[in-house]
Each structure stands twice: as structure tokens, then as C-alpha cells.
């Protein structure tokens, strides 16, 4: 079977190709178009997937879309009927898309991707796609499956069971009651972009105290012991018009929403801490219920809320389940993988084999570039580079540069699928430097100073640095830095309670551990464990860095600047390198030093190409 999965027309469009139960290729459209969170039909991503497999569209057995447009239309019509005379804003907001390209998705796919013949297009339900994306690549023969996001057709939250080659939804919460939309409301109110800034809100939470928690529980959400919940719609407007919250929302929380890019106040950090606590509470209760409903010792997670690695870490620490596997592309992009695997295993009844390792291949599912093509690209830029074909020699060189506090753009192997850079398209740095977080945020990423960086750590050494055992290869779990590595300092890590105008840089710049560049203000870290099988070269660099420094940890952040998708091609990487204060660029076996490069010509206004996220 050759099945192409498609997610599109909402956000983070993607394509994924599966053949005989194996994920051959997967990529987000944004990486090719350079438009972050690109929602358009993933024509370029689909072309890449077919090219990677060496097949044409005519050879596909099926193309499956990750959402059922008729069920989405059903929700939209019933929503409008419930609003009655007040439905006009909703109709104006979404009528064109609901009755336009979304309803006729089959026609758009046939015209753009070229199926070869009619009758190949299938659809599945949104949360089935999420559930399938989590269970089928997992290393479990059975598992409880939880999916949580904004909304897909009707469902916003589901608990299901995966067994062998089947996935079944056992319980669901329907729109308009949505944990994802609740979290997004606070994302918006705190001055960040919906479907883009939720991870910023999560990163902001440890700076504050959850002093609005009781108010949120009292006024906005009723949570039951089993994790089910209902929103008080009086304070929301996402179901009525183009806005997320009502005008009186600010009346609950001490004034109007924060304007984007304005100074972050104590209120915002405390709101972030409060909604994060609510989210963790719901997720923990859902996990307990899923354990009771399914009896399984394993848990799979997907949906946009599953990217909340702090909540995932709390579930893991609760020991409700023996093992947890989170889909690395938990958002809409991962629905492309889920749809393709669901079609193969459920609709076509293909058998499923389970191994000790997952089937996600480290999420290295995007394009790779060989040395001749990279050298050809660098030649067009008149770039100066050192060719180091011996992998061990190159690994030792990169490790030495990192030990000398150089910041390295790291372009190696296949591009990652999902929002996290995992050593394929990464920026690497020394985690022991007390100034590295500030340098990376302000001089390289050009982003807010409060945002933390993740550590990549040798798998076998993770428990030496963090209160964590097991694997976290996809950077989707947080854990505390070990007590023995922490530094004592007199002030709380929280924003000073008596201050409204807090100094984020003052708080960020405190050295909290022997790994200051990856230790968040609450002593937590979002961990990536690196093993020799998934990424042998990245593992080698970490090993050599440990040999030089005694530290088996590196800073690992995505290879991009704020508002830009993660780099895909050597050309993307070179431009990002030249536009920032990165010191070194490694493009496979080509190593470039910033001071040796010719200046970019006619690129002064490059920041205008990217909208701030």
C-alpha cells in the first residue's frame, strides 16, 4: 500500500507518505514556502514525499484527508442555528472557507496533486487522525490514547484505546467546550498569537504565581473529577464571531489585553501560571480516567495541547502509566501521518508489527542534501568553507568549537517533522555559559528574552543531570534539574509580588544551576535524550563535547529566527547563518566560519519577510 496523508486549510499543513506500515516521508508546507504555519494545500510537501519514495501520484493507492468536511459543516450550521439572529458575524467570518475550499477539498487535491484517477480520495475524522498519529508509530501493542486540541469537527477532547491495528474513541468532549480554545484565549489576552504563541505562554508560566487559578475555576471552566469540563461561554466569543473573548473578559483579569510586543507585566506572568495550572489539572485527571477506562499501562498523546511538555512531564511524574509516547508533530501537521496510517491499518486492514523502538524514525522524515549539492549551493554564494569528509574529525571539531562558546548552526541529515529541532536543523551552544541564553535570544533568534532553551543530553547520562529516567527523544517532556546541580540564591524565581513592572532580564540572568543556559526559572528543562541509533552523528558530537568539558549536555534550539520556519535547504541555512550572530555553520561536511564569509548584498530588509509570531 502507498498512502498519502494530507492535513491542510487550518494551520500547519503537511503531507506524509506511508508504505506498508512504514512512514517514508513527512514534511510541513511551511518549510518549503517559508511562510510560518502555512495553512495552504501542501503541494510542495506532497511533491517531496513522492520524490523521496521514488513514485508518482498515479501510483498511490489512496490519498486521505485528516478531517471530515461534512461533519465540520454540520457543526457550523448548528452553531449558526443556535445563534439565531446573532449568527451574522459568524456567517461573515467563516462562510467562504466553510462552503469553499474546505468543503471541496477532494477537488482541490485532485487538481493540484494529481491523483491519476478518481475514487482514491478518502477522509477520516480529525481526532481519529490525531489518535492514529499517536498510537500507530508508538512501540505499544495496546495503549490508552488521549487527544486534546482546539476543535476538530465536533470533538475537542477524546479518550480512546489502541489495540494491535485498531484505534477506537471511547469518550469525547464536544465543541464549544475546549481546553485548547481556553488556553488560546489566554494566549491572545496575554498579547501573543493564537496557534503560534501558546508555547510562549507555557514558557512564561514559571515566572509567575497562579493567583488567578481560583478565578478561572470559578468563572470560566467547571472541571469534574474524571477530567470532563464545561466552559462558561458568557466570557468567550469564538463561537459567535471573529473574536476569541468578550469585552468583559478583561474585567475579570484587571484590565484590557496586553498589546503585542509591549512590556510584559506581572499580571501576564501570573495569568500564564494560572492557566498552565488549570491545563495540567485537566490533563492529569484525563490521564487517570483513561487508565481506568482502558486498563492499559501505556499512554499515547496527540493534539495541539500534547505539545504542552510541562503537562506531559506532570503526567509522566504521576506514574499513572508505565510508559508514555507523545507524537512529535502533535498538532495539525501530525494529522497527515495519522490519517495515512489509519487508512492503511483500519480501512485496508493491514497488519501492524510492534518493536521496542517506535516507528517515527526519530522524526527525521524530511529532505536531506548530499555534499555535492551543498557545495554547489555554497559556490553560488561565493561562500568560504572547509571540507571535512571524515565524520569523527568533523565531530571533534564541532565539539571543540562549542566548548569554546561558539554558537554553531547544525545542518545534518534529514529535516525533522514537527515543531522541534532534534539535531537535523539545530542551533547548538554550550549550556554551561551564564550568558548564552541571553545571547541566543537577543542576538541570534531575535526573540523575547524570557524564552527558555532545551537541553540535548546523551540518553545514558540523562539521570546525571535531571530528575528523569527513560527516554524523551522528541523534546516533549520537562523534568527538574537535579538538586545537586542547582545554585542557591536568596530571591524567589517568581516575579516580585510587589512589582507590576517586572524586569524579565534581571530574572532571566540569574545563574540557577551549573547548566544556566538550559535551566528555566523554576529549575525545569525541556529534555531531548539523544541515542546512537536515531542520530549517530549528533550523538558523536555530544560524546566529544563531554570528553572535552565533562558535560554531556548541549543547548539545542531550532535553526531559524523569530517568525521564520525552521530551515529546510542549504540556502535557507546559509541565509539564517549570515543574518545572525552565529559563529559557525556546519552543512554536512562543509564547515563555515562567519568572519571568512562575504557580506550579503541587498539583504538589509530581510526581517520584513517574516511576520512576528
What integer pLDDT is reported at residue 494 of this predicted model? 55
C-alpha cell at 412: 545534518
Superfamily of domain 371-453+532-594: Carbamoyltransferase, C-terminal domain (3.90.870.20)
What integer pLDDT is reported at residue 6 of this predicted model? 96
**107-135 exposure pattern, b = at least 16 Cβ within 10 A, e = fewer:** ebbbeebebeeeebbbbbbbbbbbbbbbb
What is the domain partition of the chain in residue ranges?
Answer: 371-453+532-594
What integer pLDDT is reported at residue 500 of this predicted model? 67
What integer pLDDT is reported at residue 168 of this predicted model? 96
Sign for the CA dihedral angle at 151, 152, 155, 160 comes to negative
Sign for the CA dihedral angle at 492, 312, 289, 7 comes to positive
What integer pLDDT is reported at residue 496 of this predicted model? 57
**142-171 exposure pattern, b = at least 16 Cβ within 10 A, e = fewer:** bbbbbbbbbbbbbbbbbbbbbeebbbebeb
Cα 374 versus chain centre, distance: 28
Residues 6+ apart with CB under 8 A from 209: 270, 273, 494, 495, 497
What integer pLDDT is reported at residue 97 of this predicted model? 79
Cell 461573515 belongs to 92
What integer pLDDT is reported at residue 475 of this predicted model? 96
Of 604, 580, 605, 573, nearest to 594 by C-alpha is 580
Question: Considering the entire predicted model, what is its pTM?
Answer: 0.95
C-alpha cell at 257: 489585553
What integer pLDDT is reported at residue 441 of this predicted model? 84
Q: Which residues of the chain have pLDDT under 50?
A: 116
C-alpha cell at 484: 545537586
Q: What radius of gyration do the chain's Cα atoms show?
A: 23
Counting every residue written for the chain, the total comes to: 613
What integer pLDDT is reported at residue 119 of this predicted model? 64
pLDDT in tens, 169-179: 999 999 999 99
Provide the 10 A C-beta neighbour count for residue 599. Answer: 6
The CB-side HSE value for 392 (13 A sphere, CA atoms) comes to: 0
- Cis peptide upstream of residue 294 (ω within 30 degrees of 0): no
Instruction: With residue 106 as reference, give the H or E element that holds it.
Output: helix 105-112
Amino acid at each position: 500500500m502507498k498512502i498519502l496523508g494530507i492535513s491542510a486549510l487550518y494551520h500547519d499543513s503537511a503531507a506524509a507518505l506511508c508504505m506498508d506500515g512504514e512512514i517514508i516521508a513527512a514534511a510541513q508546507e511551511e518549510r518549503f514556502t517559508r511562510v510560518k504555519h502555512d495553512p495552504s494545500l501542501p503541494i510542495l510537501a506532497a511533491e517531496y514525499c513522492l520524490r523521496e519514495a521514488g513514485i508518482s501520484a498515479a501510483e498511490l493507492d489512496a490519498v486521505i484527508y485528516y478531517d471530515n468536511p461534512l461533519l465540520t459543516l454540520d457543526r457550523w450550521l448548528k452553531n449558526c442555528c443556535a445563534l439565531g439572529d446573532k449568527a451574522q458575524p459568524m456567517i461573515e467570518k467563516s462562510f467562504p472557507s466553510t462552503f469553499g475550499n474546505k468543503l471541496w477539498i477532494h477537488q482541490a487535491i485532485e487538481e493540484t496533486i494529481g491523483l491519476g484517477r478518481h475514487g482514491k480520495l478518502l477522509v477520516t475524522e480529525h481526532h481519529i487522525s490525531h489518535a492514529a498519529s499517536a498510537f500507530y508509530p508508538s512501540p505499544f501493542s495496546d495503549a490508552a490514547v488521549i487527544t486534546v486540541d482546539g476543535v476538530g469537527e465536533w470533538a475537542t477532547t477524546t479518550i480512546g484505546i489502541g489495540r494491535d491495528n485498531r484505534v477506537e474513541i471511547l469518550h469525547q468532549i464536544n465543541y464549544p467546550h475546549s481546553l485548547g480554545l481556553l488556553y488560546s484565549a489566554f494566549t491572545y489576552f496575554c498579547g501573543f498569537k493564537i496557534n503560534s504563541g501558546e508555547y510562549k505562554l507555557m514558557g512564561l508560566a514559571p515566572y509567575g504565581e497562579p493567583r488567578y487559578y481560583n478565578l478561572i475555576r470559578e468563572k470560566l471552566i467547571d472541571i469534574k473529577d474524571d477530567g470532563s469540563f464545561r466552559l462558561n461561554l458568557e466570557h468567550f466569543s469564538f463561537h459567535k464571531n471573529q473574536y476569541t473573548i468578550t469585552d468583559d473578559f478583561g474585567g475579570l483579569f484587571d484590565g484590557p489585553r496586553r498589546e503585542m510586543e509591549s512590556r510584559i507585566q506581572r499580571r501576564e506572568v501570573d495569568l500564564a501560571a494560572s492557566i498552565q495550572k488549570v491545563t495540567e489539572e485537566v490533563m492529569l485527571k484525563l490521564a487517570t480516567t483513561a487508565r481506568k477506562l482502558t486498563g492499559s499501562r501505556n499512554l499515547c498523546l496527540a493534539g495541539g495541547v500534547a505539545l504542552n511538555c510541562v503537562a506531559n512531564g506532570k503526567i509522566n511524574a504521576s506514574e499513572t502509566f508505565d510508559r508514555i509516547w507523545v507524537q512529535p508533530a502533535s498538532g495539525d501537521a501530525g494529522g497527515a501521518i495519522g490519517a495515512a496510517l489509519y487508512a492503511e491499518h483500519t480501512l485496508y486492514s493491514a497488519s501492524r508489527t510492534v518493536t521496542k523502538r517506535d516507528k517515527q524514525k526519530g522524526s527525521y522524515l524530511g529532505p536531506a542534501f548530499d555534499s555535492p549539492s551543498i557545495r554547489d549551493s555554497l559556490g553560488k554564494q561565493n561562500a568560504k568553507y572547509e571540507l571535512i569528509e571524515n565524520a569523527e574529525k568533523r565531530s571533534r571539531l564541532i565539539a571543540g568549537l562549542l566548548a569554546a562558546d561558539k554558537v554553531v548552526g547544525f545542518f545534518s541529515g534529514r529535516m525533522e517533522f514537527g515543531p522541534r529541532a532534534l539535531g537535523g536543523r539545530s542551533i547548538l551552544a554550550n549550556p554551561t555559559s551564564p550568558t548564552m541564553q541571553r545571547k541566543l535570544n537577543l542576538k541570534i533568534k531575535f526573540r523575547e528574552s524570557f524564552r527558555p532553551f532545551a537541553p540535548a543530553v546523551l540518553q545514558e547520562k540523562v539521570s546525571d543531570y535531571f530528575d528523569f529516567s527513560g527516554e524523551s527523544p522528541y523534546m516533549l517532556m520537562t523534568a527538574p534539574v537535579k538538586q545537586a546541580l542547582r545554585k542557591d540564591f536568596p530571591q524567589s524565581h517568581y516575579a516580585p509580588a510587589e512589582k507590576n513592572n517586572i524586569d524579565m532580564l534581571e530574572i532571566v540572568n540569574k545563574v540557577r544551576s551549573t547548566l544556566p543556559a538550559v535551566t528555566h526559572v523554576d529549575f525545569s528543562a525541556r529534555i531531548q535524550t539523544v541515542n546512537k541509533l536515531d542520530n549517530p552523528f549528533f550523538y558523536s558530537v555530544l560524546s566529544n563535547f563531554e570528553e572535552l568539558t565533562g558535560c554531556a549536555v548541549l543547548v539545542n534550539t531550532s535553526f531559524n529566527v523569530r517568525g521564520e520556519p525552521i530551515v529546510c535547504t542549504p540556502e535557507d541555512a546559509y541565509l539564517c547563518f549570515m543574518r545572525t550572530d552565529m559563529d559557525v555553520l556546519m552543512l554536512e561536511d562543509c564547515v563555515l566560519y562567519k568572519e571568512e564569509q562575504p557580506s550579503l548584498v541587498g539583504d538589509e530588509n530581510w526581517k520584513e519577510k517574516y511576520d512576528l509570531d
